[in-house]
A and B are shown apart, each in its own frame.
Chain A
Amino acid sequence: MPKIIIDGNEIEFKQGQTIIEAAKDHGIEIPHFCWHPKLSVSGNCRMCLVEVEKMPKLVIACATVASEGMVVHTQSPKTIAARNAVMEFLLINHPLDCPICDEAGECKLQDYAYQHSIGESRFVEEKVHKDKRVKIGPRVMFDAERCISCSRCIRFCDEIAKDSELTFTRRGDRVTITTFPGEELDNPYSMNVVDICPVGALTNADFRFKARVWDMSHTNSICIGCSRGCNIEIWVRNNEILRLTPRHNEDVNSYWMCDHGRLNTFKFVNSETRVNSPHIRKEGQLIRVSWDEAFAEAASRLRTFGKDQIAVIGSAYATCEDNYLVSKFAKNILGTGNLDFIRHIDYSFADDILRKEDLTPNSLGAELMGVKPLKNGLNVEEIIKSIKEGKIKALYLIEDDILTADPEIETYLAKLELLIVHAANFNQSTNFADIVFPAATYAEKNGTFINFQGRLQRIRPAVATIEVDRALEGMALSRLDKFGTKFDRWAQGKHFDARATWKILTSLSNAFGSRWKYKMAEDVFDEMVSSIPELKGLNYDIIGDLGVQLKLEKVNVV
């Protein structure tokens, strides 16, 4: 492999790589604003200027292709002087109101001002004033004064979202970003520009001003918006999710995620409609009861039905661990083969970028865990038909809403003798339920999902339920989580009395007299590994942050 020398270190590079790419591969960061590994090179910020021996002038590392024997200096006096000059130039018209700006704390310009700037301005004239608080799209706010014209957002729309909406207008210090006439920044991936904007010019309209970044904890997880399973980080303050951001995983979502996933997959976690503690229907009303009472009631009522009268519906929203126990519970405890899960397919949602037609995160997982009809068992359509015919008298529904599968079933649900639902939020199905178990959401439990590629990925708890202590569970802690007491209002965020489906089923099975011993999701996973050949040799540590590709026979459930 060819070699170049950066700051005295000889490093190898692949033919065709630019200096900045070669340096990045070896952990050397060359400061930059406009360069992004997944976007084309525009070379307009001039921050990555480096000195290359035998070249007459400094060159930009992002647009200079590395060649054999090149000697690059990123810390030479000439480079540092150039960098300071670029910073001074950028800061001439940039407002000095970091306290107001929402980007503060994760701002490249702010960081570089500390690292690569002399810290003083010689500019005494009035700064150029431009438009502030521009609603550039339905989900993104734009502050033209803060913009440093790096053009990352323009290139993102052109190259990644494939929907050219943004462009520069005017020139010199009056240059600004605007949408083309009659357009707005409303492509399904528009909010990624907020992440790649190196300053506070483009901000998330939903999250804006809600919290300082240093007050939140962040937890690696997986988006549940569709079967892509984009890698995300969940940002939490005071036990409330405030935003989701994409996490880099080249095999799944690169640096991006869609706006639907970013905005519509976390608000139900802290919503008013959450099921808080188990409920039993008494005299037509769902009444809050203790866990023990709910388990006893569920077990005694389930016992009164014959095997063919019961059906169990698992969930592609639930984890593999949940579905594994759903399947085990149906087969071993209830002894029924009427087992399936509801597909949520919407072809209009899919596109060629990230979005997939399957709107659940774990269809493949549910299937691999054995949530499918046994021989002579009924599938979802047949279960629904049998409920209408009155053949199925008891339905056990996990983390889903059966009315989404068939709205007409509403009138028949009331006729069921027993409907038990695991639900995070009250929905149309819980309106008819006799027993409701509060299910922990994806943000409150450990577990795994299998995405449409057959990739096994982990989710981790970011929000604590009532029985969880963040520190003891090893959850991510913000400074406020670490030091808050029950007397601090900023540490009194709502905790729900909910449990993961695998945990509920473990207790319920034990109420039937079996001896399931799962204490953690990992215990369930370990058993899955020994009984499902596709998972052989895996554990949570191996799956890690980026997941593991499984070898599945069938990779498409649709």
Chain B
Amino acid sequence: MAQTSDSLKKRKKDLTFWQKIYIPEIAKGLALTFKNMIRPKFTMEYPEEKFIPPPSYRGRPVLVLEETGEERCVACGLCSRVCPALAIEVQAAETEREKERYPQKFEINMLRCIFCGLCEEVCPEEAIVMSKDYELAFTNREDAIYGKDKLLTPVSQLKDRIEFLRKYK
């Protein structure tokens, strides 16, 4: 402590006249404040204003819905198998379509999901992709389990991500 008070004493002694009267220093500080007031803003007024992430962003996983109204998913269960958090449950069933297997039930527990994107990476049909949706808030556990109704997303809304995947995956 003794040392600190010594250096303080020394510093006070070393100040110039202009520094001692403070006024120029206040003016300098105010100038910086005014400069920042008129600079462009980076803060977003969320939620009035939304952040739209780039295609590389991994938001919540969704299922691709073809323009024909059918899902791409063939319920192979690889996403469910690879998921390190065991978030995905798939129940397959038979269909009359050309690809004879389809997901009767497809549920992602968003409380378990860790947004790693392995499901997207392993999918042989490009049927599950990471969307740009990051708004996930629930008031109970049941709401956090997303079924096909919430997962199926028209392919038109996922073009960005699919293009990104084809380029870099």
Q: Which residues of A contact B (CB under 8 A)?
A: 97-100, 102, 104, 132-133, 208-210, 212, 214-215, 479-480, 483-484, 487-490
In the complex, which residues of chain B have a beta carbon less than 8 angstroms from the beta carbon of A490?
89
Binds A, one of B12-20, B34-42, B47-55, B76-84: B76-84
Q: Mark B88-132, 1 if CB is under 8 A from A, else 0.
A: 010011100001110000010101100000000000110000000
The verdict on A209 contacting B141 (CB below 8 Å), with A100-B101, A214-B81 known, is no
The verdict on A488 contacting B109 (CB below 8 Å), with A99-B76, A99-B124, A133-B100 known, is yes
The verdict on A99 contacting B78 (CB below 8 Å), with A208-B94, A209-B101, A490-B89 known, is yes
A11 to B: closest C-beta gap in Å:
39
Alpha-carbon gap, A30 to B140, bound state (A): 55
In the complex, which residues of chain A have a beta carbon less than 8 angstroms from the beta carbon of B101?
99-100, 102, 209
In the complex, which residues of chain A have a beta carbon less than 8 angstroms from the beta carbon of B111?
487
In the complex, which residues of chain A have a beta carbon less than 8 angstroms from the beta carbon of B93?
209
Alpha-carbon gap, A484 to B109, bound state (A): 12
Alpha-carbon gap, A480 to B112, bound state (A): 14
- Judge whether B158 is part of the interface by a CB distance below 8 angstroms: no
In the complex, which residues of chain B have a beta carbon less than 8 angstroms from the beta carbon of A212?
76-77, 80-81
In the complex, which residues of chain A have a beta carbon less than 8 angstroms from the beta carbon of B74?
97, 99-100
- Judge whether B86 is part of the interface by a CB distance below 8 angstroms: yes
Choice from A97, A208, A483 contacting B86 with Cβ under 8 Å: A483
**CB atoms of B86 and A488 under 8 A apart:** yes
Q: Which residue of B lies closest to A484 (CB)?
A: B86
Q: Given A479-B86, A483-B86, A488-B112, list of 16 further CB < 8 A pairs?
A: A97-B99, A99-B74, A99-B76, A99-B125, A100-B99, A104-B76, A133-B100, A208-B94, A209-B92, A209-B93, A212-B77, A212-B80, A212-B81, A487-B141, A488-B109, A489-B109
**CB atoms of B141 and A100 under 8 A apart:** no
Q: Mark B38-74, 1 if CB is under 8 A from A, else 0.
A: 0000000000000000000000000000000000001
**CB atoms of A100 and B76 under 8 A apart:** yes
- Judge whether B151 is part of the interface by a CB distance below 8 angstroms: no
**CB atoms of B89 and A489 under 8 A apart:** yes
In the complex, which residues of chain A have a beta carbon less than 8 angstroms from the beta carbon of B76?
98-100, 104, 212
Residue picked from A104, A132, A484, A490, most chain B C-beta under 10 Å = A490
**CB atoms of B78 and A209 under 8 A apart:** no
B138 to A: closest C-beta gap in Å:
13
Alpha-carbon gap, A208 to B94, bound state (A): 8
Choice from A98, A132, A489 contacting B107 with Cβ under 8 Å: A489
Alpha-carbon gap, A490 to B109, bound state (A): 11
Choice from B75, B100, B145 contacting A489 with Cβ under 8 Å: B145
**CB atoms of B77 and A215 under 8 A apart:** yes
In the complex, which residues of chain B have a beta carbon less than 8 angstroms from the beta carbon of A104?
76
Alpha-carbon gap, A488 to B77, bound state (A): 17
Alpha-carbon gap, A132 to B96, bound state (A): 11
Q: Which residue of A lies closest to B89 (CB)?
A: A490
Alpha-carbon gap, A97 to B78, bound state (A): 13
**CB atoms of A209 and B94 under 8 A apart:** yes
Alpha-carbon gap, A473 to B139, bound state (A): 36
Q: Which residue of A lies closest to B104 (CB)?
A: A209
In the complex, which residues of chain B have a beta carbon less than 8 angstroms from the beta carbon of A102?
101
Q: Which residue of B lies closest to A104 (CB)?
A: B76
In the complex, which residues of chain B have a beta carbon less than 8 angstroms from the beta carbon of A480?
86
Q: Which residue of A lies closest to B127 (CB)?
A: A99
A480 to B: closest C-beta gap in Å:
7
In the complex, which residues of chain A have a beta carbon less than 8 angstroms from the beta carbon of B145?
489
Alpha-carbon gap, A489 to B105, bound state (A): 12
Alpha-carbon gap, A270 to B56, bound state (A): 46
Q: Which residue of A lies closest to B101 (CB)?
A: A100
Q: Which residue of A lies closest to B144 (CB)?
A: A487
Q: Which residue of A lies closest to B96 (CB)?
A: A133
Alpha-carbon gap, A102 to B74, bound state (A): 11
Alpha-carbon gap, A99 to B100, bound state (A): 11
Alpha-carbon gap, A208 to B101, bound state (A): 10
Q: Mark B6-34, 1 if CB is under 8 A from A, else 0.
A: 00000000000000000000000000000
In the complex, which residues of chain A have a beta carbon less than 8 angstroms from the beta carbon of B75?
209
B40 to A: closest C-beta gap in Å:
46
Please name 5 pairs of A and B residues whose Cβ atoms are closer than 8 Å in the assembled complex, sorted by A: A99-B74, A104-B76, A209-B93, A212-B80, A214-B81
**CB atoms of A100 and B100 under 8 A apart:** yes
Residue picked from A97, A99, A483, A487, most chain B C-beta under 10 Å = A99
Alpha-carbon gap, A209 to B104, bound state (A): 10
B152 to A: closest C-beta gap in Å:
19
**CB atoms of A132 and B100 under 8 A apart:** yes
B31 to A: closest C-beta gap in Å:
58
A106 to B: closest C-beta gap in Å:
14
Alpha-carbon gap, A39 to B125, bound state (A): 39
B103 to A: closest C-beta gap in Å:
10
In the complex, which residues of chain A have a beta carbon less than 8 angstroms from the beta carbon of B99?
97, 100
B93 to A: closest C-beta gap in Å:
6
Alpha-carbon gap, A102 to B75, bound state (A): 11
Residue picked from B78, B94, B145, most chain A C-beta under 10 Å = B94
A242 to B: closest C-beta gap in Å:
11
Alpha-carbon gap, A380 to B132, bound state (A): 72
Q: Which residue of A lies closest to B93 (CB)?
A: A209
Alpha-carbon gap, A97 to B111, bound state (A): 32
Alpha-carbon gap, A99 to B127, bound state (A): 12
Alpha-carbon gap, A208 to B125, bound state (A): 21
Residue picked from B74, B100, B125, most chain A C-beta under 10 Å = B100
Alpha-carbon gap, A97 to B109, bound state (A): 27
In the complex, which residues of chain B have a beta carbon less than 8 angstroms from the beta carbon of A479?
86
Alpha-carbon gap, A132 to B98, bound state (A): 10
Alpha-carbon gap, A365 to B168, bound state (A): 66
Q: Which residue of A lies closest to B81 (CB)?
A: A214
Alpha-carbon gap, A385 to B78, bound state (A): 61
Alpha-carbon gap, A102 to B125, bound state (A): 16
Alpha-carbon gap, A210 to B141, bound state (A): 27
Q: Which residue of B lies closest to A208 (CB)?
A: B94
B98 to A: closest C-beta gap in Å:
9
In the complex, which residues of chain B have a beta carbon less than 8 angstroms from the beta carbon of A132?
100
A145 to B: closest C-beta gap in Å:
11
Q: Which residue of A lies closest to B109 (CB)?
A: A488
